[in-house]
Amino acid sequence: MLGSMPKNMLYYKASSVALPDLYEASILDLQDGLVKGHYTSVQLVKAYFDRIEEVNLKGPALHAVIETNPIALSQAAALDDERKDKGGRGPLHGIPLLLKDNIATLHEEGMNTTAGSCALLGSVVPRDAFAAAKLREAGAIFIGKANLSEWSGMRAAWGQLKGQVPNGLSERGGQTLSPYYPNAHPSSSSSGSGVATAIGLAAGSLGSETHGSIVSPSSKNNIVGIKPTVGLVSRSGVIPISSHQDTPGPMCRSVADAALLLNFMAGPDPRDEATLHQPGIVPDYMKALDKNALKGVRLGVPRSFIRDIKIIEEVFNSSLDVFRALGAEIVDPADFPDVEELLTSKAEKRVLDVDFKVDLNKYLSELVHVPTGVKTLAGLIEYNEKRADLDLPPPFYRDQSQFIQSEAAQVDDAYLAALTEDFDLGQHERN
């Protein structure tokens, strides 16, 4: 278990500089050390690179990071110089972060954006993803890309037991492993972001969620993940699944760190129409970090949604006592009126089948260059068929079932009806 690793292994060994414990330090703690001159961003980046070297491909070989940024140290040096000359930009100045490998970064920086697939290796994106650009403007350093379920889990059909591609497995990154127990489930497509954050491979990370891919790996890896409301954070430059459900979001070791990243990520983007329908002024989420905020708040417990996870129910129930002690009123149970219909509806699956084809084709068409020539979902299927023996390990490389289902899907009356059903179920649950 990595949690038992000696503390002195968490420091940058090539220097006498005593950095904070990289397991526990918050972003504000790290920034405080930078401001006071206890260490530089260059030293901090080197420390995280040392950590990645120790545990990613060597040692426990967790495969949480798919590649590192070849110019991160020069970027850190430039930010150190800027701090000396002009002062800091704010709390993210010189802070090292990881991004899930479906979030685009400038091609000239030297990192790929591939969703874990060799089909997009060397592809040239037109620009940073909007969320990445906002964080970069605030002074963050992207030290690498996090591994993920290939194509964010959309290669194999949901629920298909035989041959289903495992969560956290990609051709480029290999199989992400749990940091807490050998071969334990790393959970969902943002698994690399979750594992890397849990063991201090960066100060924080970004994931993306369509159907649990932020909240689930955050839960499994004992970190804090926020799935923002669709439209709060732009999806432009993020390899898509569904324009109706996708959103990038922060994955950090504390609520404060996650709120801080969300502050800088949120905002309107002309390339994502959903963001233009949000309130014009982004609130300061850090102001909501009030220890008295739960006093008088009513929190409902939808028991129907935790009925199949008895293994965590005892711990879950103890957390309710913590909320009560902080002044919250717990309504238990507080089940949704249409819970059975919500759990059994096939509408979401039909919408995702169609959206994946439409939205992925749009993303691929906007790439400046793709060395493999893959510019459509149909082209991706053909590419994988021609090089199956070089792709994922058997039997997983044979499974393109979700790709094939989506390629056959159409924007038709059934799709439009499914959209309406999704909307109606969502409205009922909110009411």
Quick check: 199 and 62 in contact, CB under 8 A?
A: yes
Quick check: 245 and 211 in contact, CB under 8 A?
A: yes
Contacts of 42 (CB under 8 A, 6+ apart): 73, 76, 77, 80
Q: Which residues pair with 100 in a beta bridge?
A: 146
Quick check: 233 and 192 in contact, CB under 8 A?
A: no
Question: Which of 27, 22, 24 is closest to 11 using CA atoms?
Answer: 22
List, by residue number, the catalytic residues: 100, 189, 213
The residue behind tokens 């967790």 is 62
The residue behind tokens 């009030």 is 290
Q: How far apart are CA 65 and CA 428, in angstroms?
A: 40
Quick check: 66 and 192 in contact, CB under 8 A?
A: yes
Question: Which of 65, 70, 73, 71 is closest to 94 using CA atoms?
Answer: 73
Residue 62 is encoded by which pair of tokens? Answer: 């967790």
